[in-house]
Structure 1
């Protein structure tokens, strides 16, 4: 077996994510396929590159040697692909903007504003639960800009080649619960009021499970936690089966309530990233306006902002003390 760039890229993905499952997802392949590929690579090189542990994969001494040589080669190949794709796009296509984002209610308003600001530009959207995957796509030239969230206590791996702009340094995370849940009667919910509930979290979202676990542990709680996507979670929340963390821009429904958590125990940082400042300048104003529009459309978040003594100044797009 001769090693190819794709094999080196797979090794780097496993090392960076610390997990065969996460690496397979980033590479767009199944975990069994990646496991088989890793075994073949290890067989070709004559030694184990990763120690498989209960908590994930850790490079062995041999693995660290291989990775030290593989990373520069992968970086050079990415640069070659990026430059080639950019040159081809300039030669054959009209203007285009490739946007990536983790889930956010600001996306519809952002795209609407971008189409007004950039008439004639082809705008595409790539959604992903992994902020790290989106950032790598920007660095690799597959996306032009990404809007992502960074869970408190779980820093993202921001490629050194990217420029970033922080939209909000700390956005509080709210809780979603059934409308007839006793705690939903209060404007702010204490974790103690949810002690008897089961929680649900999507473990594929970077930092989400670790963040929830820290919050529950700090509160002295150890409830049952189900793993699943948030589309499924919404149905289970409405039926009273689970409660779940949610973004403050989420809107309640007749069968589901959205409430702040007492003390705001978990926050995320919202940021946009691109390869150049010019690319950020071209889209950031529209993103900021779209986010605060979504914030004001969520009654729970709008009330939280007022209680926090902050509101958005329409003329400047900044946060200023609210009038009392």
Structure 2
């Protein structure tokens, strides 16, 4: 299990240095451990590049099996500790979202509620964990054109039917001077995409091909991408609620060619009802901090304020 945790940490951080820091070990020790694992499995698991580490085809196969095992062990430990402390916790899974902090804050304000959190870049992995009883609910995104594999028996509720994805680019990029960017303006830039996010690499490829461009694409996690955007090395896709920073700008893509559907999954309608209102409020709270996205919603007739709760209602659909 220690080896599997190390492999997941390297993949998630995209760097031996950051993975070693996360695991609390020295980088040379982690490098030696990785070489030992690769020798045992008979092939390289990661390609080391100047920009970091990315999984090889063998590495992706191994990670596909390792992640559920590591997640299951974490869930087992969390559940055991919670039981020993006096009772079960609300077990939440989520892909990355700026609404997550507000959602957890609201849930913790309820009596006797202290949610446990499991993050994963794979929405499909989180859905399987809900179906297997390892999680109570999962908040995930479904990339347009790449339907999620929802296990039988799960109930889902849509938070946002289509959230348009934006592009993050260096603040001194010529295209950053305008609120909307044409993809052809980014044809000469290097793009960084995380291929471990379910469906995202395929969707970005389709988007770029439809625009008639074939830019150089680097593979890496989005934490690394954010750092490289700041130094002018790459551009990358991002959520519309992502904030612009002094070194990086978030801009809409002309025509909104890339979208995701945001949904909550659980085993019962009662589980959905128990946490959906707080998620809804938290998400719309983030839109108030993203002026460009708020304007986009307004042009499409989406309400942005609700006096009684301070947030607009989302379009809800039960399946």
TM-score, normalised via structure 1 length: 0.71
C-alpha distance in structure 2 between counterparts of 1:155 and 1:265, whole Å: 17
Size of the alignment, in residue pairs? 249
C-alpha distance in structure 2 between counterparts of 1:175 and 1:109, whole Å: 24
Partner secondary structure for residue 118 of structure 2: strand
CA 1:26/1:124 → structure 2, altered by over 3 Å: closer, same or farther? farther
Matched, 1:105 2:98: yes
Shift of 1:302: 1.7
Deviation >4 Å, runs of 4+ = 19-23, 89-93
Partner residue in 1 for 2:65: 27
C-alpha distance in structure 2 between counterparts of 1:219 and 1:299, whole Å: 26
Given that 1:251 and 1:299 are in contact with CA atoms closer than 8 Å, whether structure 2 keeps it comes out as no
Partner secondary structure for residue 312 of structure 1: coil
Partner secondary structure for residue 318 of structure 1: coil
Residue deviations 1:15-44 (CA, integer Å, cap 9, x gap): xxxx865453243269xxxxxxxxxxxxxx
Given that 2:166 and 2:253 are in contact with CA atoms closer than 8 Å, whether structure 1 keeps it comes out as yes
Q: Which runs of 5+ in 2 are unaligned?
A: 1-56, 73-78
Shift of 1:224: 0.3
Residue deviations 1:135-192 (CA, integer Å, cap 9, x gap): 0000011100000000000010000111100001100000000011110110111111
Partner secondary structure for residue 166 of structure 1: strand
Shift of 1:198: 1.1
**What is the 5 A alignment of 1:140-155?**
140-155=132-147
Partner residue in 1 for 2:227: 235
Which one has a bigger Cα radius of gyration? 1
C-alpha distance in structure 2 between counterparts of 1:230 and 1:116, whole Å: 31
Partner residue in 1 for 2:89: 96
Partner residue in 1 for 2:18: none
Shift of 1:223: 0.6
Shift of 1:90: 8.5
Moved more, 133-142 or 298-307: 298-307
Match of 2:271 among 279, 297, 300: 279
Given that 2:164 and 2:260 are in contact with CA atoms closer than 8 Å, whether structure 1 keeps it comes out as yes
C-alpha distance in structure 1 between counterparts of 2:189 and 2:84, whole Å: 57
Given that 2:294 and 2:304 are in contact with CA atoms closer than 8 Å, whether structure 1 keeps it comes out as no
Partner residue in 1 for 2:76: none
Shift of 1:98: 0.3
Q: Which runs of 5+ in 1 are unaligned?
A: 1-18, 31-77, 79-85
C-alpha distance in structure 2 between counterparts of 1:309 and 1:190, whole Å: 24
CA 1:20/1:134 → structure 2, altered by over 3 Å: closer, same or farther? farther
CA 1:257/1:290 → structure 2, altered by over 3 Å: closer, same or farther? same
Partner secondary structure for residue 167 of structure 1: strand
Residue deviations 1:210-241 (CA, integer Å, cap 9, x gap): 01000000000101000001111011111111
Given that 1:147 and 1:271 are in contact with CA atoms closer than 8 Å, whether structure 2 keeps it comes out as yes
**What is the 5 A alignment of 1:153-302?**
153-302=145-294
> What is the Cα-based RMSD across aligned positions, in Å?
2.7
**What is the 5 A alignment of 1:302-313?**
302-313=294-305
